[in-house]
Amino acid sequence: MIELFHAPTPNGWKVSIMLAECELPFTLRRVKLNEGDQFRPEFLEISPNNRIPAIVDHEPQDTAGPLPVFESGAILTYLAEKTGRFLPSAPRARTAVNQWLMWQMSGLGPMLGQHGHFKLYAKEKLPYAIERYAAEAKRLYAVLDAQLERTGDCIAGDYSIADIACFPWVMTHKAQGFTLDDWPHVRRWYAALRARTRLQEGLAVGRDEVSPTGQFDDRARHNLFGAAAAGVERRKGQP
């Protein structure tokens, strides 16, 4: 059995989608980010970077006891290797998937995350920050569009963890003020993936916890956006 430590964010949905697509049973552990659950010592034992998602596999292949895994890309790779699904074994195909998984982890997710923060959540709307991250987000959408023009239905050939990693971030496009009409190959890919039954099952995880955009009190803002300070305080046991 797998324990999934989850919150309803794009990174959280990557793993719940993967679990659904692999038909792996799991126990859901809700991490209430607004309340600072991510800084609790028991969670930091599993995810020392105080970020979701994380998993604990209670039936790992080495049978050496429960195995915790943190960071969404690492979890996707781990589950793909555990199940033999959504990550090719042939070296060239596997490299193609890993390249685009790393592209999402280092580019698409962080840049959309920064754009979303400054456009939707920051109390002070800074034009420079919003414009800078909007431009980078659009550049990355164009990179993805060009790749899908070359490859067709999926990012790196067959449906893979690269698609699973990218989809929940592209799902934020309307809230962030983008239209997929600007990137027709992304729009086609997005519609095809959204029609997948098990992907929808993964997206349903935690949906009841989604908060209206930007509606946070000061304590929630501190827990969500003052991560470095909050993490130090919590580790020291301060209130």
**Is residue 224's pLDDT more than 90?**
no
What's the CA angle centered on 193, arms 114 and 170, to 5 degrees?
10
Instruction: Return the pLDDT at 204.
Output: 97
Beta bridge partners of 4: 28, 55
Alpha-carbon distance of 42 to 24, in angstroms, equals 24
Residue 120: half-sphere exposure toward Cβ, Cα within 13 Å: 20
DSSP reduced 3-state for 56: strand
Tokens of 189: 């890919």
Alpha-carbon distance of 100 to 98, in angstroms, equals 5
- Per the listing, tokens 């890993």 go with 98
Predicted TM-score of the model (pTM):
0.91
Q: How confident is the model at residue 212 (pLDDT cuts 50, 70, 90)?
A: low
Give mean pLDDT, residues 187-199: 98
Domains of the chain: 2-85+201-235 (3.40.30.10), 91-197 (1.20.1050.10)
- Per the listing, tokens 């960071």 go with 71
Tokens of 155: 């990012």
Alpha-carbon distance of 203 to 200, in angstroms, equals 5
DSSP reduced 3-state for 96: helix
- Per the listing, tokens 């990137």 go with 183
Give mean pLDDT, residues 144-165: 98
Q: How confident is the model at residue 154 (pLDDT cuts 50, 70, 90)?
A: very high
Q: Write a three-state SS string for 147-188.
A: HHHHHCCCCCCCCCHHHHHHHHHHCCCCCCCCCHHHCHHHHH
Instruction: Return the pLDDT at 211.
Output: 63
Alpha-carbon distance of 145 to 163, in angstroms, equals 13
